[in-house]
Amino acid sequence: MKKKALIAAVLAATTLTATTAFAAQNPFKDLPEGHWAMMLSRCWHRTVCFDGYGDGNFNGNKLMNRYEMAEIVSKAMAKYDGARPQDKGAIKKLEQEFGAELKDMDVRLTKVESDVNDLKKGMKWYGDARLRYFKNKKMTSHSGGDQTGDNAVSNFEKRVRLGVYAETAKNLTVDGRLKYEDNAFENRGPGEWAGSSSNINPWDNSHQNQNSFRLDKFSLNWNHANTKVSAGRTEISLGQGLIYWENQVDGFYVQHKFGPKVTAMTGWGDISAEGWQDGNVPAWFGNIAVQTSPATKVTLAGLHTQHDNYNYRDSNYKAQSKDYKLNEVALGMNTQLADKWNLIVEGISNNSGLYKNTKGLWMRATYGKQVWNKANTWQVYGEYFALGGGSLDASYWPHRLNIAGGDYLGGHGARGYGFGAGYMLAPNTNFEVTYYSLKPYDKNSAGFDSYNSVAYAALTYSF
């Protein structure tokens, strides 16, 4: 039906009259003064929001389908209470005439709104940001030797992570996150600040304080009947954290909960996924956690790399090969001693055959009750370390510790104590300080007595 004939029929049904009250400005630029539809368009533009095609045109010679007319009727119905008595009757007649189209439109809109609400319900954004000043992060020594000048003595760090978690279907979720992290003001010795030539990130050739965002994780996860399967760039934790903690692998894992007390997990992947090596390091890993009491959980974890070395390119792009072998097993315990007292203990052994001093022990005692989303809560903790240079990966920091754990994998290890304190300045906003006094695991073979002090102050916010 043409718009001209349709509106003429509406005019006849509504017995609208032109009065001076409707002598308004022409609402449509393609209607000349004196056109037969001028009076009606002014009236309906004011009373029922008849807006034509949204581009300022009336398009009187264009065919209109019933759904387009139903949209006009829907707008008229929304203004029913404010309409004149004679217009109300017309609106009622039009509602009856186009009832099927109006109902279909309502069903479609309801479905769209439901789909959007389901998508919003199943998807959430999350992230965190951290500013940190770190003193002697890579553990240089007092006496020098092969430690002086190789690593930054102190630096400022910035990190931002932004993630999205979505329920894409029943039992199926997607978890992805981007990360930006850089260093600034690297001090490589007394009075020596890193210049532009020595402040290059070896992984993407950018300056350390101008890094780019990278894919931190992106995994597809299936959960059903106490079983979880995760694949992609997925995040894992092993034991109490000496081997691996909240770190990424390119691979998969399968986890199953055997009743309320026992959970087992096994998987395989490239443990260099986060970019700390420019070569592939495939490994098998596994974890068993047993809730021995309501307050205590015991863990047994293992990680085994499949090669004794990996191939990479140095700063001059020359092909190199480096020894890197882990065959780690860790036994640990986390127990809540009292309301505010917690104790973590974990021992580790790396039986790879490439290193000496392959045993390690870590203990952390915590007092307080820091609640992340509650302001003015706090905790303090003390730590003890006895970590052989070949016991864990101190080179690339995949573990949970606040210290590297030594100068490098296969290096001199670490013994000593540390202290830390955290305070929630506001919900999800934490300020933390730490200090560590450390010696080499075996100072006789190391050739020096102690490392420079290790400490940091960090401000972290999450959402």
Provide the β-strand partners of residue 22: none
Among residues 189, 190, 187, 165, the alpha carbon closest in space to that of 177 is found at: 165
The rounded distance, in Å, linking the Cα atoms of 164 and 233 is 14
The rounded distance, in Å, linking the Cα atoms of 304 and 283 is 5
User: Which CATH number covers residue 442?
Assistant: 2.40.160.10
Distance of CA 89 to the CA centre of its chain: 57
- In sequence order, what are the residues at sequence separation of 6 or more whose Cβ sits closer than 8 angstroms to the Cβ of residue 214? 178, 179, 180, 275
Does residue 127 lie in a domain region? yes
- Looking at the structure, do residues 91 and 137 belong to the same domain, yes or no? no
The rounded distance, in Å, linking the Cα atoms of 192 and 141 is 16
- Looking at the structure, do residues 220 and 302 belong to the same domain, yes or no? yes
The rounded distance, in Å, linking the Cα atoms of 81 and 83 is 6
What is the per-residue pLDDT for 354?
87
The per-residue pLDDT string of the chain (463 residues; one tens digit each, 9 = 90 and over) reads: 444 544 544 544 444 444 444 444 555 555 566 554 444 444 444 444 444 545 555 455 555 566 666 677 677 777 777 777 767 777 777 777 767 776 776 666 666 666 656 555 668 999 999 999 999 988 888 654 444 444 557 889 999 999 999 998 889 999 999 999 888 877 765 544 454 445 555 555 666 666 778 899 999 999 999 999 999 999 999 999 999 999 999 999 999 999 999 999 999 999 988 766 667 889 999 999 999 999 999 999 999 998 766 665 555 556 666 678 899 999 999 999 999 999 999 999 999 888 899 999 999 999 999 999 999 999 999 999 999 999 999 888 899 999 999 988 889 999 999 999 999 999 999 999 999 999 999 988 888 899 999 999 999 999 9
Instruction: Name the amino acid, one letter, at 247.
Output: N
- Looking at the structure, do residues 53 and 167 belong to the same domain, yes or no? no
Among residues 153, 174, 154, 171, the alpha carbon closest in space to that of 163 is found at: 174
- Looking at the structure, do residues 325 and 218 belong to the same domain, yes or no? yes
- Looking at the structure, do residues 93 and 139 belong to the same domain, yes or no? no
Q: How do the residues of the chain divide into helix, strand and coil, expressed in percent and rounded to 5?
A: 20, 45, 35
- Looking at the structure, do residues 223 and 84 belong to the same domain, yes or no? no
Does residue 455 lie in a domain region? yes
Among residues 423, 397, 459, 438, the alpha carbon closest in space to that of 157 is found at: 459
- Looking at the structure, do residues 178 and 319 belong to the same domain, yes or no? yes
Does residue 410 lie in a domain region? yes
Per the structure, the count of domains in the chain is: 2
Does residue 113 lie in a domain region? no
Strands (E), 209-326: 214-224, 227-238, 244-258, 262-270, 282-293, 296-305, 309-313, 319-323
What is the per-residue pLDDT for 259?
92
The rounded distance, in Å, linking the Cα atoms of 397 and 317 is 24
Task: Sort 23 into a burial class: Cβ within 10 Å, 0-12 / 13-18 / 19+.
Answer: exposed
Cα Rg of the chain, angstroms: 34
Does residue 115 lie in a domain region? no
> Model-level pTM?
0.70
- Looking at the structure, do residues 84 and 152 belong to the same domain, yes or no? no
* End residue of a domain, out of 77, 104, 131: 104
What is the per-residue pLDDT for 203?
54
The count of other CB atoms within 10 Å of the CB of residue 260 is: 7
Among residues 443, 387, 454, the alpha carbon closest in space to that of 414 is found at: 387
The rounded distance, in Å, linking the Cα atoms of 375 and 373 is 7
Q: Which residue has the tokens 């400490």?
A: 455
Among residues 215, 180, 186, the alpha carbon closest in space to that of 199 is found at: 186
With residue 188 as reference, give the H or E element that holds it: strand 172-189
- Looking at the structure, do residues 72 and 127 belong to the same domain, yes or no? no
What is the per-residue pLDDT for 37?
47
Does residue 110 lie in a domain region? no
What is the per-residue pLDDT for 1?
46
Does residue 388 lie in a domain region? yes
Cα–Cα distance list, 201 to 156, 183, 399, 403 (Å): 15, 9, 22, 21
- Looking at the structure, do residues 94 and 126 belong to the same domain, yes or no? no
Six-digit token string for 440? 């080499």
CA dihedral 30, 32, 37, 38 (to 10 degrees): 110
**DSSP 8-state code for residue 453:** P
- Looking at the structure, do residues 221 and 359 belong to the same domain, yes or no? yes
The count of other CB atoms within 10 Å of the CB of residue 190 is: 6
CB 339 within 8 A of CB 379: no
Does residue 457 lie in a domain region? yes
- Looking at the structure, do residues 133 and 97 belong to the same domain, yes or no? no
* End residue of a domain, out of 72, 104, 136: 104
> Which residues constitute the domain of residue 212?
122-462
